[in-house]
Amino acid sequence: MPTADTPVAGPAPGAADSEAPGPGIAGAGRPGPYPEGATPPTDAPPGDWAPVPTPHGLFRLRPVALPCDLALIAGWMNDPEVAAFWELAGPPEATEAHVRAQTDGDGRSVPCLGLLDGRPMSYWEIYRADHDVLTSYYPARPYDVGIHLLLGGGTDRGRGLGTELLRAVTSLILAHRPCTTRVLAEPDVRNVRSVAAFLRAGYRKDRELELPGKRAALMIRDRAPTPPA
């Protein structure tokens, strides 16, 4: 099954920096059911979030549009560095099934393209971790949000871009999801560059998790406490 990783750090020690977190243990798009009485999220979707400046240009998220974006994303999934963690290499239909499960879902997992100065250069999944099968492996809190990402082109890897975009997207999540107190990810522990990128982006390594298909580092970015008035 796909794992939820980030070759933000590169697929393994010694490999080129791929900066590509992958789908979560939920397979991003195959999350567990909402708890009884729960309702889908009603916060502004990522596509409505304003662009943010970064040291590398203006960055924004745009929801994936199928079939228009399929060739681009499937091409990225067939990059060996990305395929090592996302496990979606092969015909475009494999990527389409993975993405369409989210676009046709109830909104708890939103696949997006990341645009830098208008150029599509990364793929993201913003999902409700507290309504995901990941909750079987860590003590979830209400409104936990998880992220997966990959940087599509090799020229965008290995220069600190992943760290800057992680900071930007994490800040956007916390700004637009007021009930969310933390954002998390679960890269493969072998992906040492990914773990390092999350640490540089302000995350902390909470623990290691034995997930189906991998041992993961649970990376958490806590919302900063509100200063007293």
pLDDT value for 118? 94
Predicted TM-score of the model (pTM):
0.82
Give the pLDDT band of residue 172 (cuts 50, 70, 90): very high
User: Is residue 20 pLDDT above 60, yes or no?
Assistant: no
Stretch 117-135: mean pLDDT: 93
Alpha helices in 78-225 (DSSP H): 80-86, 92-103, 161-176, 192-200
Look up residue 108 and give its two tokens.
């708890």
Greatest mean pLDDT among 3-7, 14-18, 198-202 lies in 198-202
Please determine, looking at this structure, whether the domain spanning 47-222 carries the CATH number 3.40.630.30: yes
Q: What are the tens digits of pLDDT across the range 67-79?
A: 999 999 999 999 9
C-alpha distances out from residue 57 to 114, 116, 164, 193, Å: 12, 6, 10, 23
Can you give the residue ranges of every domain in the chain?
47-222
Q: What are the tens digits of pLDDT across the range 22-77?
A: 444 444 333 444 344 444 445 788 988 999 999 999 999 999 999 999 999 999 99
pLDDT value for 1? 37
Q: CA gyration radius for the chain?
A: 16
